[in-house]
Amino acid sequence: MVDEMTRGNSIPEHRRYSQRLAHLEKRNISARKGPHQPIGNKVVGIKKQRQNSSKKRISALMWLFGIVLLVMIYIILPISKITNITISGNNELTDREVEDASTIRPGRLIWTAWLGQKYLEHEARIKNPQVKTLEVSLRGLKSVHVAITENRLLGEAQVGKQKHAVLSNGQLQLTTAHNTNIDFQGFESHRQQLEILGQQLGKLKPVISHGISSVKYQPTKESPHQVILYMKDGNTVKATLTNVGDKMKYYPSILTKMKGQGVVDLRIGAYSYNYGAKDK
């Protein structure tokens, strides 16, 4: 009787034990299916990653090679070379002089002219000081436009034994050409003063500077930097070379108050008097 009761009580214990084993087995199966994959699967994954990485590198190299090849073909083809050049902004320089200074000519690679324009501008100013700024723009596959601004040619002067062109930025340029602009006198041994005067007169509007016939450097004890401007309208202007550009701006308004030809004195203040009148 006791044995039967013992066996009756042990049956549920066996069931619970069996159920627990089954539960543990399920957990082990789930764990094996989780992130901990077999070594064989890991090896296959690594191989796939390496293959994808190799494909990407090969693809990048092919793109790079293709771009280099296209650039090389473009350089060889005539389409990469300049055939047409237009120039604007030059009033005193000829188109040929601009081309020579900038080295932008038919046959040059168009991309070197466009990408290297800062260098070209620097070189152009050295070759021809009349070039102030230079800008290159593309106007087609084989056409470029060159826009420049100039340092105006004010006139010419004798410095030492050589004749120089005087530019509006104060630079002096050796020249053999004759021009009918301002005739600078008295600067044979005064190069620095001539450069200062060029910078000053470069501030003037062309309508005023074109009215100057000649300028004479005539320093005195009282006015050590005196310059005399002889105007095309018959007037004479006394000024100081260090500020003549600033004061000559008022010359047109002074003319409206003059009753005839005479002297305009800009050395100290600004006033005028007719020829023959008592010197003030």
Q: Taking the C-alpha atoms of 209, 183, 171 and 174 in order, what is their torsion angle to the nearest 10 degrees? A: 140
Among the listed residues 85, 185, 96, 176, the one whose alpha carbon sits nearest the alpha carbon of residue 139: 85
pTM of the predicted structure, to 2 decimals = 0.68
Using pLDDT thresholds of 50, 70 and 90, give the confidence band for residue 65: confident
Q: Is the pLDDT of residue 263 over 80?
A: yes
* Class of CATH domain 80-150: alpha beta
Using pLDDT thresholds of 50, 70 and 90, give the confidence band for residue 142: confident
Q: Which residues of 90-122 are buried (b: 16+ CB within 10 A; e: fewer)?
A: beebeeebbbebbebeeebebebbeeebeebbe
End-to-end CA distance of the chain: 156
Question: Architecture of domain 153-274 in CATH?
Answer: 3-Layer(aba) Sandwich (3.40)
- What mean pLDDT is predicted for residues 236-242? 96
Instruction: Determine whether 42 is exposed, middle or buried from the number of CB atoms within 10 Å of its CB (0-12, 13-18, 19+).
Output: exposed
- What mean pLDDT is predicted for residues 40-45? 56
Domain coordinates in residue numbering, the chain: 80-150, 153-274
Tokens of 244: 């003549």
Fold matches, 80-150 and 153-274: no
Q: Is the pLDDT of residue 9 over 60?
A: no
Tokens of 226: 């005196």
Which residues of the chain form beta strands (DSSP E)? 84-88, 131-138, 143-150, 153-159, 162-167, 172-174, 182-185, 212-217, 226-231, 236-240, 262-265, 271-274
Return the DSSP state at 89.
S
Using pLDDT thresholds of 50, 70 and 90, give the confidence band for residue 122: very high
Q: pLDDT higher for 44 or 142? A: 142
Region of poorest pLDDT, from 6-15, 111-120, 155-164, 223-232: 6-15
Using pLDDT thresholds of 50, 70 and 90, give the confidence band for residue 228: very high
Residue 129: the pLDDT is 93
